């Protein structure tokens, strides 16, 4: 078994992709509110920029700190050497490439949602006069789409690496983690219990 597979935080964040359909549906409902007030390209582009730009910047320069859950995050000083190796992998060029490519797929999905949005007009959460609010809902939902997919894709790459590739990675310096990663929530010494790999695996 790969050593990274015994890290529960990786699996928790990989599973985050499962909520993607929920936020895509919210995107659709947001676009379904009222009639367009801007050209189609601008309405799609506006939502795309709001949903992509902040998270793309984060993943390129200050990646999401995956040793966190809900409103809690592990203190950098509490991380094991193996966990700090995993953090180093998130700072590598391959992760930056994935962070750049992933939104392209989502923009294609966003465009399709915009095209079919009139079909959902009858179940739109607000009346036709609230188009701006509908676009705001779509933008926030698309931001969430990007967050969950970006993190899940980055984590999936780590899970696919061999033990040798992980072991060959230098652990990220503990005293530089706070400056180089986006750490959400309250920092604590432990959230999830560690999962020990099976002997001989």
Look up tokens 């190796």; give the residue: 85
Percentage, residues of the chain above pLDDT 90: 76
The pLDDT of residue 201 is 46
- Pair of tokens at residue 86: 């995993």
Q: What is the dihedral angle through the alpha carbons of 46, 156, 91, 195, rounded to the nearest 10 degrees?
A: 130
The pLDDT of residue 129 is 83
The pLDDT of residue 187 is 93
The pLDDT of residue 106 is 93
The pLDDT of residue 199 is 47
Percentage, residues of the chain above pLDDT 70: 95
Contacts of 86 (CB under 8 A, 6+ apart): 4, 7, 10, 66, 158, 166
The pLDDT of residue 6 is 81
The pLDDT of residue 195 is 60
Among candidate residues 183, 185, 198, the one with its CA nearest the CA of residue 64: 183
The pLDDT of residue 2 is 67
Q: Quick check: pTM over 0.85? A: yes
Q: What is the pLDDT of residues 122-169, one digit of tens each?
A: 888 787 789 999 999 999 999 999 999 999 999 999 999 998 999 999
The pLDDT of residue 198 is 52
Which residues of the chain have a pLDDT value below 70? 1-3, 194-201
The pLDDT of residue 108 is 94
């Amino acid at each position: 078994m790969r050593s990274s597979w015994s890290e529960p935080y990786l699996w928790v964040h990989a599973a985050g992709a499962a909520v993607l359909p929920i936020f895509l549906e919210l995107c659709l409902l947001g676009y379904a509110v009222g009639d367009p007030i801007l050209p189609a390209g601008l309405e799609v582009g506006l939502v795309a920029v709001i949903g992509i730009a902040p998270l793309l910047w984060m993943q390129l320069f200050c990646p999401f700190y995956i040793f966190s859950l809900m409103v809690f995050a592990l203190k950098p000083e509490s991380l094991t050497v193996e966990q700090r190796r995993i953090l180093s992998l998130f700072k590598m060029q391959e992760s930056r490439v994935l962070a750049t490519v992933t939104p392209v797929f989502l923009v294609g999905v966003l465009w399709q949602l915009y095209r079919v949005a009139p079909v959902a007009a009858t179940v739109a959460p607000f009346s036709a006069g609230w188009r701006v609010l509908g676009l705001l809902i779509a933008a926030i939902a698309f931001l969430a789409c990007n967050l969950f997919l970006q993190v899940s894709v980055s984590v999936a790459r780590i899970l696919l690496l061999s033990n040798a590739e992980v072991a060959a990675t230098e652990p990220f310096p503990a005293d530089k983690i706070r400056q180089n990663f986006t750490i959400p929530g309250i920092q604590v010494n432990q959230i999830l219990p560690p999962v020990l790999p099976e002997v001989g695996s």
